[in-house]
Structure 1
Amino acid sequence: MDELLRRRRVYGADHDDPDPGPRPGHVYRELVAGPLDGLLLDVTGWTDRRLAEGAALDTEIGSYGPGGHALYGPRPADPERWDWQGDTP
């Protein structure tokens, strides 16, 4: 695993986790822009169809506050990076 990737935080890791970074053997997508910019999303075990759909991720720091979701989907030219597509309640 690349050194830069190892220093990144994984979406959903507890704030007090002493090691919130990626785990060996897992597959990640980088979240780009929006409220979760820079986090890694663990997509280990996801099907190709599920990866193509993207995800609505729980977040308290989006436009809708607690209970809201940030929408992220694969970048057409670089599916390892998922771009923010907006927020939803």
Structure 2
Amino acid sequence: MDEEEFLRGRVYGADPEDPGPRPGRVYRELVGGPLDGLLLDVTDWEDAQPRQAMALATELGSFGSGGRALYEPRRGDPRRWDWRGDIP
């Protein structure tokens, strides 16, 4: 199994021992880029449908450790967030 396949369906930032989504939580799917296929838990956010881009920490992007991947809600389908690039 390659790294991309291993990450698919897991929750961003979750404990590797308990990676799956939980019932009763609200998730957004990350599409493209280094976090492709991961789910972002937005349950505790005041507005579970933010309309701005988010920089998510990752070691898998262009900048390695300390880098971030930029994702923003997809127009017409805010349940999916599209990758916009990597930033240091």
Structure 2 length-normalised TM: 0.83
Please list the CA deviations of residues 40-68 of structure 1 after superposition, one character each: whole Å capped at 9, or x if unmatched. 00011223387111311000010000000
Higher helix share: 1
| Stretches of structure 1 lacking an aligned partner (at least 5 in a row) | 1-6
| Stretches of structure 2 lacking an aligned partner (at least 5 in a row) | 1-7
Q: Sequence identity of aligned pairs in percent?
A: 69
Structure 2 distance, partners of 1:50, 1:28, is 10
Decide whether the 8 Å contact of 2:27 with 2:40 is kept in 1: yes
Q: Aligned residue pairs: how many?
A: 81
Structure 1 length-normalised TM: 0.82
Decide whether the 8 Å contact of 2:49 with 2:78 is kept in 1: no
Please list the CA deviations of residues 10-64 of structure 1 after superposition, one character each: whole Å capped at 9, or x if unmatched. 001233x1x3111111100000000000000001122338711131100001000
Question: Over the residues paired in the alignment, what is the CA RMSD in angstroms?
Answer: 1.8
